Structure 1
Amino acid sequence: MEDCVRQINNGINQITQSVREIQKMGKDGEERFAWHESNVQSWVSAALTDATTCMDGVLGDEIGSKAKSMIKARFLNVKELASNSLAMFNRFTARHRASLAIKNP
């Protein structure tokens, strides 16, 4: 469980870094947009991997089935939120690029 808590804390840090990076996207200009985009995608993906790894470890531990079910449900919720956030972010960046293409054909 200690490894799992460490992975979840890493995931929280990665999501926090992603939020900070998104805030920088509009301030640094277009030349840094792709850099920020890549950082956000990497960190959210890493947080998603951490949650998956942790969940896999918990499911293999010797804990009660009720506690295991509760933990699994929460991890699945975290995974779903991270996955949806990444999808929405990717859609945002695609639309941003498309709007630039319209403005600067």
Structure 2
Amino acid sequence: MEKIGFYFLVLATIVGCTAAARGTTSPTTDFVKASCKTTLHPPLCVRCLSTYANSIQGSDHRLAKAAVTVSLNDAKSAAAFISKLARLSGIKLREHQAVRDCISTMTNSVTSLSQSVQELERMARAKGEDFDWHMSNVETWVGAALTNQNICSRGFTMKGHVKDVVTKRMVYVSQVTSNALALVNRFAVRHRKGIHKP
């Protein structure tokens, strides 16, 4: 059992957004910080997206795409982490079933986020109804990804190490995805008002 506990500790380590360099400020990082204020988790948003500031260059479109890409990468990492849990010995039957269900919902989440990134790539020059159609797809898919992540967390009704490590991981991933959805919505609003930078 100690061996399993140690393995949980290793698996529970979150490899996510690195801390942004302190005191770093420029027009590009200022744009990221200002945009992140519209999310539910601004500090996490800034940590995740500051490293992309130079490529974002004040573009709402590129900011949204970077945010969804970060969310996709974290969702893939979480899905791989949960798949490893399913192969551990010593997990109770109910925990194992919850893990299997979580793998299914996270697979759906990864698919939705992958589709969102592809759709954001396709809509670079979209306008009018074409833009609205693409944007509706992105908003729906990122929202669905977030829902699936929350379903995964809620599936662990029993107390224990498995629930603790999965919940910790999924809270993090859900916060990143929530931020991505907020920035996608911000992009949509600013585009329709004609105040975005392409």
The answer, yes or no, to whether TM exceeds 0.5 is yes
Where in structure 1 are there 5+ consecutive unaligned residues? 101-105
Which residue does 2:141 correspond to in 1?
A: 43
Q: Which residue of 2 aligns with 1:16?
A: 114
What RMSD over aligned residues (CA atoms) do the two structures have, in Å? 1.6
Kindly indicate whether residue 119 of structure 2 is the aligned counterpart of residue 26 of structure 1.
Answer: no
1:16 CA drift (Å): 0.2
Is 1:88 aligned to residue 186 of structure 2?
no
User: 1:67 Cα shift?
Assistant: 3.1
Q: Distance in 2 between matches of 1:38 and 1:31?
A: 10
Q: % of aligned pairs identical? A: 37
Decide which structure has the larger Cα Rg and report it: 2
Output the amino acid matched with 1:91. R
Q: TM-score of the superposition, structure 1-length normalised?
A: 0.83
- In structure 1, the residue matched to 2:154 is 56
TM-score by length of 2: 0.46
Q: Which has the higher helix share?
A: 1
2:163 paired residue number: 68
Give how far 1:66 is off.
3.0
Q: Give the aligned residue type for 2:174.
A: K
2:161 counterpart letter in structure 1: K
* CA–CA separation in structure 2 for the residues paired with 1:20 and 1:76: 25
The corresponding residue for 1:103 is: none
Change (3 A) 1:84 1:53: same
Q: Over residues 13-35 of structure 1, what are the superposed CA-to-partner deviations in whole Å (9 max), with x where a residue is unaligned? A: 00000000111112444331011
